[in-house]
């Protein structure tokens, strides 16, 4: 498969929205980046539509088409019938005028090819003895069956898509023509690349619109009407069926949306469906809701349907129907290379995710996978990472923080901006003689502490660090640090119990004071004795006084 849908790595933010919306989970996460798995991707384009960071991008073939035009060859556009929903008020004539100004040789409706394909479907149902027939117009549906439901390949109509049938018809009528399909579909780029020599390039509506803006070409508000244009219904849900003459031996059903298509394919695999023609479209709402219908048009599928319905005629385009052999399309099985892990490997992955028993498997879908088991399989296949499990990360973070909070010798108290207690650990409860956390959780902090310091921190925005205070009601000395987290709107109080230190300091001060008093008495007594001796011996006591003074100073310093 060609890499027509790629990823801008720098834009991926690990929101997992793409994998949540990918119906076949064809996205791999590694190194905090999403990667599209080509072997599994069906190019439905949902990841492109839902990505909030515009991280997904479609390979642009505008420059390639410009080279075609510059070469001098006639370049003919096959314009998807959904154009009427994308370009408000502009019919095929208005589109032809605008695109000819850009250098295109001509512009035709892909609905011409749709008529050819519709005729072939009718022939198959009337002439060939088939049980179930699935339309092959949608390349994403074809890829879905080729990659994920290969047992249903025998039921997929081996008929070209309207894009291919039309481009072959153009090349028959216009010698040397280069064909360019313009539509709302990502998958058509891959189809053109895979079946070479039929469609030379594919542009999306967005790419065409951007090119027109660069050329300063504006569309005229001109709606033409053609009675012979019933196949313009093709891009709507049930649109193929609306153009067909029904065979009474078959039941005709239209299915849109990949999930719905997958459900039907599972029923076909189980042998529950017979004698049925099934029109399948990967997009909910069919092509008028395609991934590259310009995003500002993704507002009303009913409006888009009405625009198509009002533009479509009641009779078929006049076409020269090719031989059935000329419309044959070989649609083969595409092998997926990722093996299914064993039950032991799946169980090991589940345990790494913290899922030790079935009740642990929340199947919340936050990682993008429908079940924890699917996620475990993806981990084994290298598609997913354990860290994608948000409940697991939350529990892990909470357990880690709880371990720290419970085992720290410091008291911790968390308040909201209303000074209500949100969390308190055992060390803090011990300082304040609180029996249970539930006794104070949700209450105003004034019940247990003076709120002044907390209010000052909120008001000033300045944190308090290592402030020593005496909690008179608890007869405790603490060193408190108050931190205000503005982002989480929380105040965190950290209290280190220094009561024993403070009492020890006071005890030492008392000892030092008593020692000084004793020293003073000794000095006085010794001075009297020395003076008496000195008077008898006629000697001075200066040296003795100095020595005793130094002794006193040293005791005071201690």
CATH code of residue 467 = 3.30.450.20
CB atoms within 10 A of CB 324: 15
| Residue that is last in its domain, among 44, 59, 74 | 59
Choice among 136-150, 298-312, 427-441, 472-486 with the minimum mean pLDDT: 298-312
Non-local CB neighbours of 308 within 8 Å, separated by 6+ positions: 81, 82, 84, 85, 232, 233, 235, 236, 239, 288
Q: How far apart are CA 471 and CA 373, in angstroms?
A: 54
Higher-confidence position of 527 and 547: 527
Q: How far apart are CA 179 and CA 171, in angstroms?
A: 8
**Which residue blocks in 270-413 are alpha helix, DSSP H?**
301-311, 343-352, 372-380, 390-407
Question: Is there a domain that residue 397 lies in?
Answer: yes
| 294-330: pLDDT as tens digits | 755 455 678 888 999 999 999 999 999 999 999 999 9
DSSP tag of 275:
S
Residues 31 and 167 in one domain: no
Residue 43 three-state SS: coil
Local confidence band at 552 (pLDDT 50, 70, 90 cut-offs): low
Q: How far apart are CA 61 and CA 220, in angstroms?
A: 25
Question: Is there a domain that residue 447 lies in?
Answer: yes
372 lies in which domain range?
Answer: 340-407
Q: How far apart are CA 14 and CA 250, in angstroms?
A: 47
Q: Flag whether pLDDT at 466 surpasses 70.
A: yes
Question: Is there a domain that residue 505 lies in?
Answer: no
| Residue that is last in its domain, among 15, 44, 59 | 59
Residues 268 and 413 in one domain: no
* Three-class secondary structure assignment of 61-94: CHHHHHHHHHHCCCEEEEECCCHHHHCCCECHHH
| 515-544: pLDDT as tens digits | 888 878 877 887 788 777 767 665 555 666
pLDDT number for residue 297: 46
Local confidence band at 493 (pLDDT 50, 70, 90 cut-offs): very high
Residues 403 and 417 in one domain: no
Q: How far apart are CA 46 and CA 28, in angstroms?
A: 15
Residues 534 and 413 in one domain: no
Question: Is there a domain that residue 465 lies in?
Answer: yes
Residues 398 and 417 in one domain: no
Residue 376 three-state SS: helix
Residues 475 and 537 in one domain: no
- CATH number where 48 lies: 3.30.70.20
Q: 424: which strand partners?
A: 413
Rg (CA), the chain: 40
What's the gap between Cα 243 and its chain centre? 39
Q: How far apart are CA 137 and CA 160, in angstroms?
A: 7
Local confidence band at 514 (pLDDT 50, 70, 90 cut-offs): confident
Question: Is there a domain that residue 285 lies in?
Answer: yes
Higher-confidence position of 230 and 546: 230
Give the number of domains in the chain.
5
Residues 199 and 142 in one domain: yes
Q: How far apart are CA 267 and CA 282, in angstroms?
A: 17
Question: Is there a domain that residue 333 lies in?
Answer: no
Pairing of strands 201-204, 106-109: unpaired
Residues 168 and 265 in one domain: yes
Mean pLDDT for the stretch of residues 86-92: 91
C-alpha dihedral sign at 368, 370, 371, 376: negative
Question: Is there a domain that residue 391 lies in?
Answer: yes
Q: 281: which strand partners?
A: 256
- Contact call for residues 19 and 27 (beta carbons, < 8 A): yes
The pair of structure tokens assigned to 509 is 């001060």
Q: Flag whether pLDDT at 10 surpasses 60.
A: yes
The pair of structure tokens assigned to 535 is 């008077």
Residues 69 and 182 in one domain: yes
Q: How far apart are CA 349 and CA 386, in angstroms?
A: 8
- Contact call for residues 324 and 120 (beta carbons, < 8 A): yes
Q: How far apart are CA 16 and CA 14, in angstroms?
A: 5
The pair of structure tokens assigned to 106 is 């001509």
CA neighbor of 277 nearest in space, from 427, 117, 169, 91: 117
Choice among 35-49, 193-207, 260-274, 517-531 with the minimum mean pLDDT: 517-531
| 384-430: pLDDT as tens digits | 887 777 766 666 666 666 777 777 889 999 999 999 999 899 999 99
pLDDT number for residue 369: 86
Q: How far apart are CA 133 and CA 158, in angstroms?
A: 10
Residues 436 and 517 in one domain: no
CB atoms within 10 A of CB 418: 9
Mean pLDDT for the stretch of residues 206-219: 95
| Residue that is last in its domain, among 407, 433, 451 | 407
Question: Is there a domain that residue 228 lies in?
Answer: yes
CA neighbor of 311 nearest in space, from 219, 385, 244, 236: 236
The pair of structure tokens assigned to 3 is 């890499």
Residues 12 and 85 in one domain: no
Query: What's the pTM value of the predicted model, to 2 decimals?
Result: 0.72
Residues 35 and 90 in one domain: no
């Amino acid at each position: 498969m060609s890499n027509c849908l790629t990823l801008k790595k720098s834009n991926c933010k690990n929101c997992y929205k793409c994998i949540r919306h990918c119906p076949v989970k064809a996205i791999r996460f590694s190194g905090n980046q999403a990667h599209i798995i080509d072997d599994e991707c069906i190019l439905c384009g949902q990841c492109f539509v839902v990505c909030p960071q515009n991280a997904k991008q479609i390979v642009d073939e505008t420059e390639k088409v410009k080279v075609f035009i510059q070469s001098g060859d006639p370049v003919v556009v096959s314009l998807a019938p959904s154009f009427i929903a994308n370009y408000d008020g502009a019919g095929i004539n208005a589109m032809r005028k605008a695109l000819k100004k850009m250098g295109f040789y001509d512009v035709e409706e892909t609905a011409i090819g749709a008529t050819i394909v519709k005729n072939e479907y009718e022939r198959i149902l009337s002439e060939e003895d088939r049980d179930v027939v699935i339309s092959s117009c949608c390349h994403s549906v074809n890829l879905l069956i080729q990659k994920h439901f290969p047992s249903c390949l025998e039921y997929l109509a081996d008929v070209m898509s309207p894009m291919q049938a039309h481009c072959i018809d153009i090349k028959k009528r216009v010698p040397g023509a280069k064909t360019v399909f313009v539509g709302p579909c990502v998958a058509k780029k891959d189809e053109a690349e895979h079946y070479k020599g039929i469609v030379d390039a594919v542009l999306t509506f967005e790419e065409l619109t951007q090119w027109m803006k660069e050329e300063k070409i504006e569309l005229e508000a001109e709606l033409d009407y053609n009675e012979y244009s019933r196949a313009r219904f093709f891009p709507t849900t049930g649109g193929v069926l609306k153009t067909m003459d029904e065979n009474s031996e078959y039941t005709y059903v239209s299915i849109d949306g990949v999930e719905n298509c997958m459900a039907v394919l599972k029923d076909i695999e189980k042998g529950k469906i017979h004698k049925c023609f099934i029109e399948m479209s990967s997009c909910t709402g069919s092509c008028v809701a395609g991934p590259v219908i310009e995003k500002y048009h993704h507002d009303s599928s009913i409006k888009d349907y009405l625009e198509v319905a009002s533009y479509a005629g009641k009779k078929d385009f006049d076409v020269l129907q090719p031989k059935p052999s000329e419309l044959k399309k070989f649609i083969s099985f595409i092998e997926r290379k990722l093996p299914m892990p064993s039950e032991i490997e799946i169980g090991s992955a589940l345990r790494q995710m913290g899922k030790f028993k079935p009740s642990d498997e929340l199947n919340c879908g936050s990682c993008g996978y429908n079940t924890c088991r699917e996620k475990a399989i993806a981990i084994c296949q290298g598609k997913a990472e354990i860290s994608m499990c948000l409940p697991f990360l939350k529990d892990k973070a909470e357990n880690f923080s709880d371990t720290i909070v419970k085992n720290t010798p410091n008291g911790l108290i968390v308040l909201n901006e209303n000074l209500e207690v949100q969390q308190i650990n055992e060390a803090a409860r011990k300082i304040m003689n609180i029996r249970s956390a539930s006794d104070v959780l949700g209450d105003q902090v004034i019940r247990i502490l003076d709120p002044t310091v907390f209010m000052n921190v909120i008001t000033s925005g300045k944190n308090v660090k290592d402030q020593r205070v005496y909690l008179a009601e608890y007869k405790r000395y603490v060193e408190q640090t108050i931190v205000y987290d503005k982002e989480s709107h929380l105040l965190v109080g950290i209290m280190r119990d220094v009561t024993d230190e403070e009492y020890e300091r006071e005890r030492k001060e008392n000892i030092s004071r008593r020692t000084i008093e004793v020293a003073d008495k000794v000095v006085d007594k010794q001075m009297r004795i020395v003076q008496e001796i000195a008077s008898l011996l006629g000697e001075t006591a200066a040296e003795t006084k100095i020595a005793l003074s130094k002794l006193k100073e040293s005791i005071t310093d201690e």
